[in-house]
Amino acid sequence: GPGHPTGGWWDALVGPGRALDTSRWFVVAPNVLGGCQGSTGPASARPGGGRWGPEFPYLTQRDQVAAEAALADALGIARWAAVIGGSMGGMRALEWAVGRPERTGSLLVLACPAAASAEQIAWGSVQIAAIRSDPAWQEGRYHDAPAGGGPYRGLGIARRIAHVTYRSEPELGTRFGRGPQPGGHPWRGGRYQVESYLDHHAAKLVRRFDAGSYVTLTEAMNGHDVGRGRGGVAAALRRVRMPALVAGVDSDRLYPLAQQAELAAAIPGADRLRTIESPYGHDGFLIETAQVGALIEELLSQA
């Protein structure tokens, strides 16, 4: 669509004859609350004038699911045949299954934990710090700054940090090794190939995303805990009795496979952990569409 020169990550999974077969199923992919491309977020206009900026409220995954439930109500959907998600989408899928089991017909959770770990919070926190340390952040009040005046350097650094956690060390080594970028040696002002790769992804994100939304959504991921206020993780997961599949990526160093093993063992509706084999680390849940598609088809065969 406009502003998106390429198809979505799961473009190969959604459509007529694909795993999420739109000739059979209605597919709803809500824009996440707190984002910057359709839903209300820090860059959005607020009642009375101006932008939300730093006054935008702190959000949890549970808040985001409450917004999705309101959308389902508006659409007249009393119960989903399946709720499917990976990473932050997996966190929200878990919240649907735990908080609204009567509205969740089946569940597929990919590459996410029951609760964010200390290390995951640490990775998120340094990304937030990178953005907030940019002088152009202006305590979050930068949205009405002149063009080019936002905290783009901090946002680019945050994206570089995140992207390293999304991929695996063997994949980076195989693709780039210690090779210099053609045309410039790192010892003489040039870059390593892997630096160029991170710079490229930083530049792509900065052109299309808002730093305030990045902070809001990262804080929501850091705050993820499906057991909060529910007697702990184990008690919360015992509510998930609908058919469920839990899968992780064998090379994921951001949300390691052991966290999905915990989910599979604790969810009554799940039979066993499913493993996506991929060299691509956490991003494997986005890239390995054939393996993810087979999981979706298995889940929907029970719907």
Residues tagged active-site:
87, 252, 282
Give the containing element (helix H, strand E) for 230: none
**Rounded to the nearest 5°, which phi and psi values hold at 237?**
-70, -20
| CA 45 vs CA 14, 49, 144, 252: distances in Å | 32, 6, 11, 38
Residue 192 to residue 159: CA distance in whole angstroms: 18
Torsional sign, CA 88, 93, 98, 103: positive
Render 46-84 in DSSP notation, one character per residue. Answer: -TTSSB-GGGSPP--HHHHHHHHHHHHHHHT-S-BS-EE
How far is the C-alpha of 181 from the C-alpha of 16, rounded, in Å? 42
Burial class (CB in 10 A: 0-12, 13-18, 19+), 77: middle
Nearest to 86 by CA among 204, 245, 278, 233: 245
